[in-house]
Structure 1
Amino acid sequence: MNTIPKLKIHQTNLNRNIDFKDIMLNSSYDKLRFSWNSPNQLEIVGIDCALCSDFSTTEEFYSLSKYYKSIIDSNKEWLSDLSIPLIFIINSFDMHSERKTPWLNIPRGFIFIPETIYINKKGYKKLITINNNIHNFKYSAKKSVDRNLNPKLKAETSLYDFSKMIEKSIKMMNEKKISKIVLSRQKNYDFDFNINKQGDFLSKAKVRFPNCINFLYDFKDLGVFFGVSPETLFKTNGDTFYSEALAGTIKSNQMLDSIENSKEFEEHKFVVDYINDKITSFSNKIHYNKKPHLMKLKSMNHIRTEFKSVLNKNIFPFDIIHKLHPTPAVCGTPSNIAMNSIRNIENHDRGWYSGTLGWIDSNYNSHFIVSIRSGLSIGNNLYLYSGCGITSKSDNNREYDESEIKFNSILSILNDE
């Protein structure tokens, strides 16, 4: 990877009536097609890779990030007047855990530049082609097949198993080894997530979860990774940095005043303190709301604290990803002990669930999310994931019920209703 490729980028304005979902599902592709949608803000569809790389360790990622950064820096003649999402990254929750089904053949991390990019920014639609590559798009109406086939549960982390996991964790807290840990469950379904179902997912997700980033990455034979994430890891715009602590889940009819001094507030504070500490290493003029507020979703509310700061000089999005992730919102605290504990307590491999996913544009603006409320489809096997923050105040049944509500966020979209 010593040669820096020259990128010839061409952009074309598109008719506002073009449906990006149709483009996504009906374009020919060899390796990858994907959709990223922040409803009413930014929608991106990408087809195949002009350049792509796997990575298995953080060291490999940093080496690759230097290479991909040099591509932007060496192509200023084509990129200086553009501000387009160009480099896309997917990163596992744990770069060092034992690989298990269904993640055995899927890389821990993936970084790529698409060949063809469709961008819808608040109604203004563009086609971006790189090195004159454009993929054939031929619209075809959906076939009416398998409309009655909903996911059928085959296996799951049971209430009994989850309770044992929680009890082990609380024992560690009583021994002062950890203060918080996030435990996840896995469910395995029989489900054909075919092109029709993918289209249904893309249509329903943006309507039912307008405050979330919905995403779908189709890696052909490797599988389809998809989800509706409410959680931003960070965003950058010029030298302005944004992040958030999103931790602590309550019922949709509950208000903050009714749960002060609760377990949910306790776990939220762990995340606030962590982010505030981490961002001091790469930014200044840090501001955050001292009193959290609620992010309201369809079936639950999340406690949220927003951060804003100014990036130090020569700090780029590549540098930030592994400085922030994983936060106590998906791992625990202290993070190194919590991570090791998760490896020992959970019987499944999280893979890309609760990892990071996002993009960096040609001017180093960026947006990365935490890939929660997500699943992986391979053949007729569907794997869904859900997690809960555990503290010494946790109740087994309440945590299990919370995880079920989170599972239902995805299932409500996949089920025919």
Structure 2
Amino acid sequence: MRQWPKTRARFLRAKEVMPWGVTSNFRYWGDDQTIVVSRGEGPYIYDLDGNRYIDYRLGYGPVILGHGHPAVVERVSQAIRDGVIFAATTEWEIRAAERIIRMTGVDMVRFSNSGTEATMHALRIARAYTGREKVIKFEGQYHGHHDYLLFSTAMALRQPMGSRRHPIPVVASSGIPRVIADLIITLPFNDFEAVERTVKAKWGDIAAIIVEPMLGNSAAIMPHPEFLPFLRRLCDEYGIVLIFDEVKTGFRIARGGAQEFFGVRADLVTYAKAMGNGFPISAIGGKREIMMTIEPGAVAHAGTYNGNVVGTAAADATLEILETTDALERAAQAGERLMKGISEILTEAGIPHAVSGHPNMFSFLLNFEGTPRDHRDTMSSDIELYAEIGLACYERGVMFEVDPREPWFTSAAHTPEVVDETLNRFADAVRAVLRKGKPVGPAEVTSVGK
């Protein structure tokens, strides 16, 4: 067993000054399991006691090149010597915007600092452009922590609410005004009939359909091959803005993100996470006509730290590496080895399972057979068994989220040797959990807090 005396002591200090000892609720794993990190390097993070973990959380996806990548750190270090914020456009903003446009094919870009800000502003732009107010989102998808879209997320839906034909928007937090629910229409992902019926009935009120092209918080479930083209056609027919939330998929599943990977163009796209390899930055990109809705004095988009030198210099360096090297291919090779190896281990252990997602962003459902198509399917998997295996891996130095709805993320720093070590420890963890007498087969689903 690993020892955490320094980590535990420091966490108790954290609890005195921060609610639950964390700055994001998702970081709290319980008083006995919440980690306090001292540093990261490549595919590894280290706690205060010097314990090393192979990291597949990667900050929930941003670290595409590996922790502390020298070229990114060096570019940021050089850039900030001349200052970091000027309330004016800088060369770093221009360079980063040009790279995004070249890689993704969007016409124009505006910067912000987090995925939450990007989706919030994208929704405002869509409403201003269409003159409508309602938005369609899909169950289990997460679009940031602002009030307008914090409904029916994976963590809010312990059990799906309402029928598949008429879902009920489920608020994910206290403190969100009830009236906002009137602006939200939630639907199951990959459900062609539900979307078409809803759009035909309510299109005059619908400003946007916002969608994670693959479910970033529901086991990385992939779209049906015709689902995204179907959304594109509906939005064209009814004058609705199609927003791709690529906060997780952008610059991770392809150089041009999900638009490139799935061959579908959105009207607006939000980016964050992998574009800065962990430095805080996000962006909204889209068609010129819609982006130009952002007019001074008419449609507000602002932020003191938007386009700051730290974030844009990091994006310039990260995107240059992603564009000109095989970094994404190396991350995918790691993911392919992991997906195959995990499936073989689970099969040998006699655990029915389904592996879903892209090699750079994937998950697996336990005691589940078939291909998952939406968030409701994830709720029928054995979330408790997944959590037990996850905690057993944690004790053995492999870190991934202990809820299958949050994907494993890979980076260019996850070498074949690192993957082999991961699979060996994963196999040990599965055997240890099964020795404890955990039943294999259909199980009562219990929710796991993060």
TM-score, scaled to structure 1: 0.24
Q: Specify which structure has the higher proportion of strand.
A: 1
The structure showing larger relative contact order (alpha-carbon pairs under 8 Å, at least 6 residues apart) is 1
Structure showing the higher helix proportion among its residues: 2
